């Protein structure tokens, strides 16, 4: 808790400002009071300010005035004029991804709210336990915002720094703080209780550094800095990476990098030290058996960068020894600009959930999502038309060939990483690719790593699944990358962001790692075995559906914030981490049973080989995880969408590259079946916001001509909603409150078994 404490001490605590919108004055008063009083529950909160407004119009105008002061919005659903969801959309449209919680006495609205992108849904009457959720959300978001934004460090401002709407920080925004390198915070791997309101969880060296950095920032913030300290914001780091890419790692010297970056407040020394760290990081990654170096240097980097500037793969993982660069993976995605066309970044940037990874130095977080290029339709992105093919699981299978040969070498040992790109571009180079074909993957890069390669934006479809977007990185061990989708091991669909199924590895941020049959989506899923999963990771272990943000099922390990680790249960929200490891704030660990209550609206469709092909939608992990088969009729896509039952995107855009994989078809179609309604459901899950940044890919059930890849791109406004397979839920967690610190040892067992089987299966 060193960080938290230091943060607290230094920074005079955290001040959160919440806006409550409700036409019922009684409720407004009660809610305001409850929130104000709830600060006493959490020592790190100094103050909670509540702004109460009676209707949506007023809410919007208040937001306009006090945009930076508001950390969270709680809105009623039924209101005259604009209802809560409409308000939410409007807010997102005008102000970016502010976290919005929807409340209503009508609990039927939950589904819809979550679909719409609300961070969560709380039924009225509000209980004290709900408050915890609320303010923790606010804290997380705020903290993340701060780290990302490194605002001018201005003592007063820091309290109000919030939601970073865009990851890219302008140079002016970058904080220039003093560097206090000597300062180190104490143990990084101190397990943090989930309930810590301090979302940072240190799990590795990197985190220590991160922490140090954040700590430094905090400290500097509290007093006027005399020296200028550079904080490597996402933006800066991206620039740095671009520079390296441009120059070539081998030839990268601080001077050239500095020139390239062209940031005036940056000194050569800053760059030099950063470069050094970066190199160290790479080295570590390489040592881990992944040959990142190849990737990083030369081709790898180039290829990677070829695609939409996906940041270095190493970003993903966070290994115990990696430098803090790794941590970036974790959080990375969530902060990307809303508006990114790129699915990957979208995923990664989960607007809603300010997931924090454990370690987080926010700088790195969300690095990966700075996919600017994405925005421009860089090749990377997603779901665009491309071939997604993903090969498979990296496991040690001998016979696997990497699907994408174009750029890389299919190497079992994971030498080259090949990243799949879309259509035109070759695969990104990432580590090893042992792809198994079964799945359809798309977008970004695929990196089926064996020994842990880091890939960024890689997809690694393991078995037959659909992976999409971002990168998948089914690592065996090793680092997963950021923005990778890790293969869904069994039949599953992962999508978006990255999924990384690592064995021992570190998973990265924005990765999805659907282990068994599950659908994971969004953000990242990382099923690590031992690793650290991070932020924005979701790791659906068993047949679960994970969604959103991250799910990380680590058997042990640190989970990071914003991770969802559904064990056999449904997980949702922010993060769920069923681990025996450290979990962080914002993580929910649905252990065995259960649907975690966290509901941030994740509905996972479980696409499970083992189970019926019929997806079991929503067991929304809401208060009652419905174990029954949800009536699909209730699902409703957004009206705005116009096309309710169609995929927003044109399916024809996604062409699986069947040519490349002879086996693919067979495999893909057999592995799992998607129910016919799946696309619809998926749509609903990933309900696109009006802005429609998401590209929906239809998950091909094999109906169409052998195309099996569908990718879901996360809508910019929504977090993917994944239905959790109710079948998997055995018990229910307390519906009212998720004990995030709950770590169930059973999970451990499950995960391990699962992971083992997962990887073993792939090997066939």
Binding site for other proteins (CB under 8 A): 23-27, 29-30, 33-34, 37, 76, 78, 80, 104-106, 124-128
- Compare residues 29 and 267 and give the one whose CB is closer to other proteins: 29
Instruction: Give least dist CB 78 to other proteins, A.
Output: 6
Q: How far is 13 from 43, CA to CA, in rounded Å?
A: 8
Q: Which is nearer to other proteins, 21 or 699 (CB)?
A: 21
| Shortest distance in whole angstroms from residue 59 CB to other proteins | 17
Q: Which is nearer to other proteins, 33 or 255 (CB)?
A: 33
Tell me how far, at minimum, the Cβ of 115 lies from other proteins, in Å: 21
DSSP string, 124-191: SSP-HHHHHHHHHHHHHHHHHHHHHH-----HHHHHH----S-SPPPGGGS-B----TT---S-TT--
Provide, rounded to whole angstroms, the least separation between the CB of residue 22 and other proteins: 8
Edge to edge, the sheet with strand 498-501 lists: 445-446, 471-474, 498-501, 524-527, 550-553, 575-576, 587-588
- Rounding to the nearest 10 degrees, give the CA dihedral for residues 179, 184, 188, 193: -80
Nearer to other proteins by Cβ, of 14 and 131: the residue is 131
The DSSP secondary-structure symbol of 429 reads P
DSSP-derived secondary structure for 561-626:
TT-B--SSSB--SSEE---SSB--TTEE---SS-B-TT-SS-------SSS-SS------SSSS--
| Beta-carbon count within 10 A of 86 CB | 17
Considering the complex, what minimum distance in angstroms separates the CB of residue 128 from other proteins?
Answer: 6
- Residue closer to other proteins (CB basis): 68 or 129: 129
Q: In angstroms, what is the minimal distance from the CB of 140 to other proteins?
A: 25
CB of 70 to other proteins, least distance (A): 23
We find the least distance from the C-beta atom of residue 125 to other proteins, in angstroms, to be: 4
Q: Where are the alpha helices (DSSP H) in 639-723?
A: 662-671, 678-685
Least distance CB 659 / other proteins (angstroms) = 56
CB of 76 to other proteins, least distance (A): 7
Instruction: Please report, in angstroms and rounded to a whole number, the separation of the first and last CA atoms in the chain.
Output: 44
- For 66, 152, 180, the CA distances from 148, given in Å and listed in that order, are 20, 12, 19
Q: Tell me how far apart the alpha carbons of residues 656 and 449 are, in angstroms, rounded to a whole number.
A: 21
Nearer to other proteins, 41 or 703 (CB): 41
**Residues pairing with 732 in the sheet:** 595
Beta carbon of residue 105, minimum distance to other proteins (angstroms, whole number): 4
User: In whole angstroms, what is the distance from residue 617 CA to residue 610 CA?
Assistant: 16
CA–CA distances in Å: residue 19 to residues 85, 476, 637: 15, 45, 27
Count helices and strands (H / E) in the chain. 19, 19
Query: Taking a C-beta distance cutoff of 8 angstroms, is the pair 206, 279 a contact?
Result: no
- CA-angle at 105, arms to 103 and 108, nearest 5°: 85
Which of residues 125 and 399 has its CB atom nearest to other proteins in the complex? 125
Q: How far apart are CA 336 and CA 330, in angstroms?
A: 13
Cβ 26 to other proteins shortest distance, Å = 4
- CB 37, min distance to other proteins, A: 6
Beta carbons of 439 and 463 less than 8 angstroms apart? yes
Q: Using the minimum distance from each CB to other proteins, give the nearer residue, 106 or 259.
A: 106
Residue 23 or residue 58: which is nearer to other proteins going by CB?
A: 23
Cβ closer to other proteins: 29 or 321? 29
Nearer to other proteins, 26 or 170 (CB): 26
Q: Quote the CA–CA distance of 518 and 515 in Å, as a whole number.
A: 7
Q: Which is nearer to other proteins, 128 or 676 (CB)?
A: 128
- Of 104 and 511, which has the nearer Cβ to other proteins? 104
Q: In the block, which residue shows the tokens 């659907």?
A: 514
């Amino acid at each position: 808790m060193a960080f938290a404490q230091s943060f607290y001490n230094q920074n005079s605590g955290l001040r959160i400002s919440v806006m409550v919108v409700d036409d019922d004055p009684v409720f407004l008063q009660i809610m305001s009071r409850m929130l104000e009083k709830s600060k006493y529950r959490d020592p790190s909160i100094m103050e909670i300010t509540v702004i109460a407004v009676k209707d949506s119009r007023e809410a919007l105008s208040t937001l306009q005035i006090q945009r930076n002061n508001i950390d969270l919005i709680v809105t009623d659903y039924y209101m005259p004029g604009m209802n809560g969801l409409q308000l939410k959309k409007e807010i997102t449209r005008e102000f970016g991804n502010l976290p919005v919680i929807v409340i209503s006495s009508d609990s039927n609205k939950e589904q819809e709210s979550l679909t719409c992108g609300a961070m969560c849904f709380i039924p009225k009457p509000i209980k004290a336990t709900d408050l915890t959720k609320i303010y923790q959300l606010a804290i997380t978001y705020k903290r993340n915002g701060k780290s990302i934004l490194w605002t001018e460090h201005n003592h007063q401002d820091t309290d109000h720094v919030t939601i970073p709407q865009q990851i890219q920080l302008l140079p002016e925004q970058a904080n220039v703080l003093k560097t206090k390198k000597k300062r180190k915070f104490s143990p990084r791997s101190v397990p943090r209780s989930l309930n810590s309101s301090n979302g940072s969880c240190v799990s590795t060296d990197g985190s220590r550094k991160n922490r140090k950095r954040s700590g430094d920032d905090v400290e500097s913030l509290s007093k006027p800095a005399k020296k200028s300290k550079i904080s490597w914001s996402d933006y800066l780091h991206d620039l740095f990476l671009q520079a390296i890419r441009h120059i070539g790692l081998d030839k990268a010297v601080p001077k050239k990098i500095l020139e390239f970056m062209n940031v005036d407040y940056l000194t050569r020394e800053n760059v030099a030290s950063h470069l050094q760290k970066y190199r160290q990081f790479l080295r570590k990654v390489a040592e881990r058996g992944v040959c990142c170096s190849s990737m990083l240097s030369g081709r790898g980097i180039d290829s990677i960068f070829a695609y939409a500037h996906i940041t270095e793969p190493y970003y993903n993982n966070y290994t115990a020894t990696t430098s803090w660069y790794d941590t970036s993976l974790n959080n990375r995605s969530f902060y990307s600009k809303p508006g990114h066309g790129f699915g990957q970044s979208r995923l990664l940037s989960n607007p809603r959930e300010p997931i924090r990874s454990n370690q987080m130095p926010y700088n790195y977080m969300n690095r990966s999502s700075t996919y600017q290029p994405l925005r421009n339709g860089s090749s990377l992105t997603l779901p665009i038309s491309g071939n997604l093919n993903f090969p498979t699981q990296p496991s040690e299978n001998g016979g696997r060939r990497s699907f994408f040969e174009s750029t890389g070498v299919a190497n079992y040992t994971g030498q080259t990483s090949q990243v799949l790109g879309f259509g035109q571009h070759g695969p990104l180079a990432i580590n090893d690719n042992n792809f198994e074909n079964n799945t359809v993957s798309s977008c970004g890069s695929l990196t089926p790593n064996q020994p842990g390669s880091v890939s960024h934006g890689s997809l690694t479809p393991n078995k037959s699944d659909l992976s999409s977007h971002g990168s998948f990185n089914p690592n065996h061990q090793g680092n997963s990358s950021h923005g990778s989708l890790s293969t869904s091991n069994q039949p599953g669909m992962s999508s978006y962001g990255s999924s990384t199924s690592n064995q021992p590895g570190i998973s990265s941020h924005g990765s999805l790692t659907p282990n068994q049959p599950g659908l994971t989506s969004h953000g990242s899923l990382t099923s690590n075995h031992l690793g650290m999963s991070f932020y924005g990771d979701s790791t659906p272990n068993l047949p679960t559906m994970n969604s959103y943000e991250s799910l990380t099922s680590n058997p042990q390990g640190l989970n990071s914030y914003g991770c969802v680790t559904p064990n056999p249960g449904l997980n949702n929200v922010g993060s769920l981490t069923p681990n025996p490891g450290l979990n962080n704030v914002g993580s929910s660990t649905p252990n065995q049973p259960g649907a975690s209550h966290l509901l941030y609206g994740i509905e996972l469709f479980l696409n499970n080989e083992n189970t019926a092909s019929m997806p079991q939608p929503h067991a929304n992990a809401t208060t009652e995880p419905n174990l029954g088969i949800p009536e699909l009729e209730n699902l409703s896509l957004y009206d705005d969408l116009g096309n309710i039952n169609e995929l927003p995107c044109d399916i024809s855009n996604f062409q699986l590259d069947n040519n490349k994989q002879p086996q693919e078809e067979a495999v893909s179609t057999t592995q799992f079946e998607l129910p016919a309604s799946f696309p619809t459901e998926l749509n609903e899950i990933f309900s696109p916001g009006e802005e429609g940044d998401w590209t929906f890919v239809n998950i091909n059930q094999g109906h169409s001509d052998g195309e099996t890849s569908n990718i879901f791109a996360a809508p910019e406004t929504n977090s993917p909603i994944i239905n959790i397979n109710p079948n998997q839920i055995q018990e229910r967690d307390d519906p009212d409150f998720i004990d995030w610190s709950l770590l169930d040892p059973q999970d451990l067992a499950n995960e391990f078994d699962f992971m083992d089987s997962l990887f073993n299966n792939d090997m066939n």
